[in-house]
């Protein structure tokens, strides 16, 4: 069942004296024991939307509103959302080492986090078990270390262990493998799949890397300029992407043997200066007249496959 479902997410950011709309009317949901991939480039709104979910946006500079925010089908008032941060929803960041406090040992920080999840017995045994769960071996050494003494991969596993320890049901992983070396990345992706299966966790996997996302996610959302362009099961998007942006993105991945990459000309639009019609219109090679005038709605074109595009067949 859906553990989290939001409808009509609106995010505005303050620029100088006025607010600019960055995300409008976004719907997002995730099932228990599911990995949802969110793919987009910088400025797509992928990070901002998930930060809003966990109420992590700075309140002075941003305005967030929902049409509805449901946890396990129960409607939640916006004021209650901060309560869930750290309890229901955990966040892990791109660069794991700076996301840990450099002044304290892992043991100290772990204890602090476990206390939030209101566990009574916080001891090395409990922490050790969680660290084993995320695939770490040298438990004593890890617990006694300071963040800068760990490798990137180890630190990311520690961050995941923290999330598990706080008993969260939802993990938001914002580009968790981007800062890691190539052969470490795969290990983290496997770990995420493992905790989905063994602990029933729901994971938002945010990335700009299509291949990794297809590998780890069950469903994939494609973000562009603050809007969802397409979403469907991971295998479906991989095999038959429908949106011109998705297809163009797949063509951008460098491979051996091709003479030239099919690039997407231009750059993503500035918020505050968005095109009237389809957001991708200026860069779309399949653009039609109607695309310039009207913004296409998100429509279920096949079962479980949603598309925001006027072009039926490409």
Q: How far apart are CA 202 and CA 164, in angstroms?
A: 11
DSSP-H helix ranges across the chain: 46-53, 81-84, 106-116, 124-133, 139-144, 152-165, 182-199, 210-216, 234-239, 244-251, 289-293
Minimum distance from residue 152 beta carbon to another protein (Å): 8
Q: Report in angstroms how near the CB of residue 221 gets to another protein at its nearest.
A: 16
Per CB under 8 A, residues contacting another protein are 13-16, 20, 22, 41-42, 61, 152, 181-183, 185-186, 189, 208-212, 214-215, 248-249, 251-256, 258, 260-265, 267, 271
Q: Which is nearer to another protein, 72 or 262 (CB)?
A: 262
Q: How far is the CB of 127 from another protein (least distance, A)?
A: 28
Q: How far is the CB of 77 from another protein (least distance, A)?
A: 27
- State the virtual CA torsion across 206, 187, 168, 35 in degrees, nearest 10: 50
Pairing of strands 227-233, 202-207: unpaired
Question: In 10 A of CB 281, how many CB atoms?
Answer: 20
Residue closer to another protein by CB (options 116, 253) is 253
Residue (164 or 192) nearer to another protein, CB: 192
Q: Which is nearer to another protein, 252 or 299 (CB)?
A: 252
Instruction: Return the number of the residue (181 or 198) whose C-beta is nearest another protein.
Output: 181
CA pair distance 299, 305, nearest whole angstrom: 8
Beta bridge partners of 314: none
Give the residue ranges of DSSP H helices in 217-262.
234-239, 244-251
Q: How far is the CB of 74 from another protein (least distance, A)?
A: 32
């Amino acid at each position: 069942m859906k553990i989290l479902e939001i409808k009509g997410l609106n995010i505005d950011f303050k620029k100088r004296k006025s607010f600019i709309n960055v995300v409008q009317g976004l719907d997002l949901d995730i099932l228990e024991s599911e990995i949802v991939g969110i793919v987009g480039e910088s400025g797509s709104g992928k990070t901002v939307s998930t930060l809003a979910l966990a109420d992590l946006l700075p309140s002075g500079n941003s305005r967030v509103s929902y049409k509805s925010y449901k946890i396990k089908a129960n409607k939640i008032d916006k004021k209650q959302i901060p309560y869930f941060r750290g309890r229901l929803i955990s966040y892990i960041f791109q660069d794991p080492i700076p996301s840990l406090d450099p002044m304290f040992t892992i043991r100290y920080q772990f204890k602090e986090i476990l206390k939030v999840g209101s566990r009574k017995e916080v001891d090395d045994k409990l922490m050790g078990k969680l660290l084993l769960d995320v695939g770490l071996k040298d438990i004593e050494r890890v617990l006694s270390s300071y963040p800068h003494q760990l490798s990137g991969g180890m630190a990311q596993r520690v961050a995941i262990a923290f999330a598990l320890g706080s008993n969260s049901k939802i993990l938001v992983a914002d580009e968790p493998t981007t800062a890691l070396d190539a052969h470490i990345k795969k290990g983290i992706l496997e770990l995420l799949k493992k905790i989905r299966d063994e602990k029933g966790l729901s994971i938002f996997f945010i990335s700009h890397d299509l291949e990794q996302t297809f590998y780890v996610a069950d469903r994939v959302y494609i973000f562009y300029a603050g809007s969802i362009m397409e979403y469907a099961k991971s295998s479906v998007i991989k095999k038959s992407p429908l949106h011109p942006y998705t297809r163009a993105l797949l063509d951008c991945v460098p491979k051996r043997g091709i003479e030239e990459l099919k690039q997407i000309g231009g750059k993503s639009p500035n918020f505050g200066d968005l095109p009237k019609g389809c957001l991708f219109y200026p860069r779309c090679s399949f653009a039609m007249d109607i695309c310039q005038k009207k913004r296409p709605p998100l429509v279920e074109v096949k079962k479980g496959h949603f598309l925001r595009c006027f072009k039926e067949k490409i």
